């Protein structure tokens, strides 16, 4: 091997090491693991527990995501995957809370110097809607709209992006209920669609408006698949209505994903 080839290999290895170190640090900050951020009292516990944070089983008091380390690592890995394989399209999360998963996506794009893709954040930024039990019986008795901690303003999410130096023209917001914003959003193609709307209605609205925009080889992630029955039912009602039978892959016992064929 020539000295030039050896130097190029060293630069490639070093670049990869620095990218990994940067994104690892971002993950640890976003989940609050790095400073052992205690959870909100809403779920009963008040002490930081690494295992709970690993699986997203608590609601952090300060951290910028509640999806846990495993689901956040999944977001990172699939973002890197579509970049590496050249799958076309933007990225969107429907239901963003404090913005952590989207900050992770934007951090990956930044690390790989990707300038031609957008990260879309769709949310009411006012919490979840009361269930429409007549139209969506699967949401009957849903209580998510009663949790004030789930309401995070768009201005706060933007400030969270700014803390990582990642708020720029590649980050765009769709404010409002999904039924009013997603169908008319100026999105042509998606490489990754992440659903975190909890309810049947929110999940179905997002799938109906956006699924056909996901490129072949792209991914769909469903955050609440195993813990919110209405969400799981919406996924299968949608897939069955279109005779789609993807290989659904478990992430952590809570979330799942599949690749669009």
The terminus-to-terminus CA distance of the chain in angstroms comes to 41
User: Pairing relation of β-strands 119-123 and 171-175?
Assistant: parallel
Please tell me the predicted confidence (pLDDT) of residue 44.
62
As a whole number of angstroms, the distance between CA 73 and CA 128 comes to: 25
Question: What pLDDT, on a 0 to 100 scale, did the predictor assign at position 19?
Answer: 95
pTM of whole model > 0.75? Answer: yes
Please name the residue that has the structure tokens 């404010």: 175
- Cβ atoms 79, 111 nearer than 8 A: no
pLDDT value for 12: 86
What are the structural domains of the chain?
Answer: 74-259 (3.40.50.150)
**What is the model's pLDDT at position 204?**
98
Question: Which stretches of the chain score pLDDT less than 50?
Answer: none
Q: Report the C-alpha gap between 76 and 221 in whole angstroms.
A: 12
Residue 214 corresponds to which tokens in the numbers above?
Answer: 């996901």
- Most distant CA pair in the chain, distance: 72
Q: What are 86's two structure tokens?
A: 């050249």
pLDDT of residue 43: 63
Alpha carbons 190 and 232: distance in angstroms, whole number:
22
Q: Which two tokens stand for residue 180?
A: 């009013």
């Amino acid at each position: 091997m020539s000295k030039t080839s050896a130097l190029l290999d060293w630069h490639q290895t070093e670049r990869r090491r620095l990218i990994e170190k940067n994104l690892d640090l971002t993950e640890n900050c976003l989940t609050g693991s790095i400073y052992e951020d205690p959870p909100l009292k809403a779920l009963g516990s008040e002490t930081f527990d690494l295992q709970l944070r690993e699986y997203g089983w608590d609601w952090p008091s300060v951290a910028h995501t509640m999806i846990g380390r495993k689901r956040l690592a999944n977001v990172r890995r699939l973002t890197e995957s579509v970049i590496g394989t050249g799958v076309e399209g933007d990225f969107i999360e429907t239901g963003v809370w404090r913005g952590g998963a989207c900050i992770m996506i934007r951090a990956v794009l930044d690390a790989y110097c990707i300038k031609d893709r957008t990260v879309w954040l769709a949310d009411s930024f006012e919490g979840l809607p009361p269930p429409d039990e007549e139209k969506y019986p699967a949401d009957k008795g849903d209580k998510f709209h009663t949790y004030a901690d789930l309401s995070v303003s768009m201005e706060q999410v933007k400030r969270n992006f700014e803390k990582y130096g990642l708020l720029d023209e590649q980050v765009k917001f769709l404010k409002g209920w999904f039924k009013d914003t997603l169908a008319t959003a100026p999105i042509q193609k998606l490489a990754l669609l992440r659903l975190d709307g909890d309810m049947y209605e929110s999940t179905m609205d997002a799938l109906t408006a956006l699924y056909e925009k996901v490129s072949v080889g792209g991914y769909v992630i469903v955050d609440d698949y195993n813990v919110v029955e209405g969400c799981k039912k919406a996924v299968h009602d949608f897939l069955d209505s279109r005779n789609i039978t993807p290989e659904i892959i478990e992430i952590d016992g809570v979330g799942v994903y599949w690749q669009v064929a």
